[in-house]
Structure 1
Amino acid sequence: MTRLLLVAGSGGAGRTTVAAATGLAASRRGQRTLVLSVDASRDLSGVLGQVPPTLPEGRGLPVRIEDHLHLQELDIASELKRRWSEGRGEVAALLGGGLEGVTAEEVALTPGLEVLLALLLLGEYSRARTYDLIVIDAGDALRFVGGADAVGWYARRSRAPKQSARRVRPSRANPEVLHGVSDKLMDVGALLRAPTVTSVRWVTTHDHRTEQSLRRARATFGLQGVALDGVILNRLALVGEDAALARHPSVENLQHLVGSIPVTGVALQGRDIVGEEALEAFATLLYRGEDPARLGSTHPSLGVGKQAVDVYTLEVQLPFVRKEEVSLSRREAELVIQAGAFRRNVLLPRMVAPLATTGASLEGDRLVVEFKKERV
């Protein structure tokens, strides 16, 4: 199965450099690796010392760097043309249908379209097993997971034989096309939440907002059921020798904050990291000979367990969230969890959906929701 690694974090922290170095290091270990970026700035090509394709037919396609390494910078206009089918294709169906005669260029600026296209690509590559590892220069990793969730919600509501009072506007799209592409995206969403398949590596630098942003990231990743497998604290000012980085005060503070999740400190480099040689040296600092595709944290962030006959619990990891910030509501087979400013619609498994929600408690950093069969 294809391993997915989302490299996320604050802007300007070196996220693209970490993604490129990770992909290069994995490919040198014989893993068929793709580094995928959805950033229109084309920074990934620059970091790898490549010139982006200028001809229209080459834009947005994977570019071979060496035997086991490809890079791909998503080009929305080019990718949309490949999927548009004169307004009757998968993307048109997801946008609501009825777009025959509308050109791909006219919808290329639709907000969030780059995430939708990237999700479709990830699904294709995963099904075909084209690569062993896909490293995504993700920026806001939650947009990927949330995008798959939103499509899944829309698909479930559009299929429901009985609509609630809050009806979804009927789509003019071909139902078979809509449901087919929705199923694909729901499958991608499941992969993104599978802790043995997908994880997030958080890249940050040290400033007064570092701890706050990491707390927020851990809480939102936990709510979304995404595994955080490592934190990279980049561009540290050295206090002593390189060997002392693990004892750097900033590294120790973050390690205390995230517990068992490994924190790696990387010193500020004296030159720009561009090209394979510089990236390989940087990867050595990041991983010190270990497999860059390793899973540093594999525990599930969200799971359902059976406690007794017709009694189940749903457990969600919510570190750094206070009890008063959490609220729950039910919509038929969906449980809606609100934690601060973030929200998650959880589709309950078939054996849990008929049961009533009978209680919830916040136990440390775990939200535990109980479901029982109502007794007549």
Structure 2
Amino acid sequence: MTRILLVSGSGGVGKTTVAAATGLAASRRGLRTLVLSFDASRDLSGAFGLEGPARQGLPVRADDTLHLQELDVPSELQRRWISGRGEVAALLGGGLEDVTAEEVALTPGVDVLLALLLLDEHTRARTYELIVIDGPSTGELLRFTGGADAVGWFARRSRAPEQSARRVRPSRGDPEVLHGVSDRLMDVGALLRDPTVTTLRLVTTQDTRAEQATRRACTAFGLQGIALEGLVLNRLPPGDGNGSWAERLQRLVGSVPVTGVELQAEDVVGRGALEAFATRLYQGEDPAKPMSTHPVLGVEKDAVDAYRLEVRLPFVSKEEVVLSRREAELVIQVGAFRRNVLLPRMVARLATSGARMDGEKLVVEFTKERVLT
């Protein structure tokens, strides 16, 4: 199984440097590694000192065990468009035979669909043992991790409209193509929420505003079901190491491990600089090894007709959580963050019987309604 490592953070904190250095260090240990960038800024090529972006969005060989790839929306869409009858057209609703790929490239959300489809191809091919995703900003990565859920929501409700009073208009595209590609994207979503496959490293800096942004990100990714394995505190003052700022951040984030790396005297550009950065960051440890482990959270069976759903929500009090139920759909709202959870069939037929916060976990219980006689 291919391991997926997500690297993200606010803009300008050095997440591309961390992703590039991690991928290079992992490849030096013999892992077949791909560093995959969805960031429109195209910084990945620059981090390795390459001139210009990777060619037409295709993987570029950096050495025997390392490839780099930057998503190029126009090129990737052209490959999948097939005159408006391909998988992207099916996801967009079909009936687009007279629309060009260039026009569709401007549609909001197409970049997320293409990124998910690209990740699906790589995980199915198993060419790489490790995929390091140089993610865009935190908000954009949340769109990516939530994109598979959105497709799954549409696919399930369009296949079983009897489960909802709200009907989804049938797609004018090929239903077989739509269902095939939506199944693949739901598989990607399952991989992203499997902590044995996918983990997240958040990169931040010694900035007071970044502290609160980091806490919000921890909550948002927890709501999405993404396993946060640790934080990288970048650009510490020389001599600070894992000192005062790291300790302060550790107090804020609790059990999440924090690793610090000092501000470099020069820009981290090129393989030599990236290898030196990785040495300071990982101190000889395996860069692909999760910084911490997480139990699998999700739906568990407690007894006959009794289930519970667990979601990790760090830094959240029970007063901040708002739950609502729409037949087979559980809506979890935490401030500005929201997730629509489509419940498994055996749970969807049960009533929501209770909810509580257990430490950093939201626990929602489902049981069969009693019939009064």
TM-score where L is the length of structure 2 = 0.95
Work out which of the residue numbers 112, 128, 139 in structure 1 matches 2:125.
Answer: 128
Number of the residue aligned with 2:267: 272
After superposition, what is the alpha-carbon deviation per residue over 1:8-42, rounded to whole angstroms, capped at 9, x for unaligned? 00110001111100110000011111111122222
Residue aligned with 1:371, SS: strand
Deviation larger for 13-22 or 296-305: 296-305
Q: What's the counterpart of residue 253 of structure 1? A: 248
- Shift in Å, 1:163: 5.9
Match of 1:335 in 2: 330
Deviates more, 1:189-198 or 1:209-218: 209-218
Distance 1:252 1:83 in 2: 48
Q: Shift in Å at residue 4 of structure 1?
A: 0.5
* Bigger mean CA deviation after superposition, 292-301 or 309-318: 292-301
Match of 1:113 among 110, 113, 130: 110
Structure 1 residue corresponding to 2:310, chosen from 306, 312, 315:
315
CA distance in 2, matches of 1:146, 1:368: 21
Q: 8 Å contact 1:90–1:177 — kept in the other structure?
A: yes
Go from structure 1 to structure 2 and tell me whether the alpha carbon gap of 1:164 and 1:305 turns closer, same or farther (over 3 Å shift).
Answer: closer
Q: CA deviation at 1:332?
A: 1.9
Amino acid at match of 2:151: V
1:281-292 to 2 correspondences below 5 Å: 281-292=276-287
2:10 and 2:300 map into 1 onto residues whose CA distance is 35
**Paired amino acid for 2:174:** N
Which residue of structure 2 aligns with residue 182 of structure 1? 182
Counterparts of 1:208 and 1:41, CA distance in 2: 25
Q: Contact 2:205–2:234 (CA<8 Å) still a contact in 1?
A: yes
Moved more, 220-229 or 35-44: 35-44
Aligned residues: 368
Cross-structure match for 1:302: 297
Aligned partners of 1:202 and 1:230 also within 8 Å: yes
- How far did 1:53 drift? 5.8
Shift of 1:289: 1.1
Secondary structure of 2:308 counterpart: strand
* Alpha-carbon offset, residue 334 of structure 1: 1.8
Equivalent residue, structure 2, for 1:347: 342
Question: Matched residue of 1:226: which SS?
Answer: coil
Paired residues of 2:324 and 2:331 also in contact (CA < 8 A): yes
Q: What secondary structure, in the 3-state scheme, does the structure 1 residue paired with 2:162 have? A: coil
Pairing 1:30–2:26 present: no
Q: Deviations over 1:168-220 (max 9, x none)?
A: 22211110000100000000000000001001100011112122111101111
**2:313–2:360: 8 Å Cα contact kept in structure 1?**
yes
AA matched with 2:344: P
Q: Is the 8 A contact 1:194 1:300 kept in 2?
A: no
Deviation at 1:261, TM superposition (A): 2.4
For 2:349, give the aligned amino acid.
P
- Secondary structure of the residue that 2:241 maps to in structure 1? helix
Where in structure 1 are there 5+ consecutive unaligned residues? none
Runs of 4+ residues over 6 Å off in structure 1: none
Q: CA deviation at 1:375?
A: 1.9
What displacement does 1:300 show?
A: 3.6
Q: Is 2:348 the partner of 1:359?
A: no
**Residues 229 and 294 in structure 2, CA contact (< 8 A), matched pair in contact too:** no
- Residue 102 of structure 1, aligned match among 84, 99, 109: 99
How far the C-alpha of 1:250 sits from its partner, in A, is: 0.8
Runs of 5+ consecutive residues of structure 2 not aligned to the other structure? none
- Summarize deviations over 1:57-111 as a string: whole Å, max 9, x none: x410000000000000111000001000100000011111100121101111111
The DSSP-based 3-state class of the residue aligned with 1:87 is: coil
Whether contact under 8 Å (1:35, 1:70) holds in the other structure is yes
- Counterpart of 1:98 in 2: which secondary structure? coil
- In structure 1, the partner of 2:153 is 153
Corresponding position: 1:67 with 2:80: no
2-side partners of 1:87 and 1:250: how far apart?
52
**Distance between the aligned counterparts of 2:255 and 2:53, measured in 1?**
42
The Cα RMSD (Å) is 1.5
Show the counterpart of 1:170.
Answer: 170
Going from structure 1 to structure 2, the CA distance change for 1:267 and 1:53 (only over 3 Å counts) comes to: closer
- What are the superposed Cα offsets for residues 288-344 of structure 1, whole Å, 9 maximum, x if unpaired? 111111112321463222222211111111111122221111222221111111111
Aligned partner letter, 1:51: E
Whole-Å separation in 2 of the counterparts to 1:289 and 1:332: 51
Retained in 2: the 8 A contact 1:8–1:201? yes
Maintained 8 Å contact 2:246/2:259: yes
Match of 2:16 in 1: 16
Which SS does the other structure have where 2:261 is aligned? Answer: strand
Q: Secondary structure at the match of 2:57?
A: coil
**Quick check: 176-185 or 287-296, which moved more?**
287-296
Q: How far apart, in 1, do the equivalents of 2:308 and 2:116 lie? A: 30
Provide Cα deviations, 1:134-163, integer angstroms capped at 9, x if missing partner.
Answer: 111112321221111111111111111426
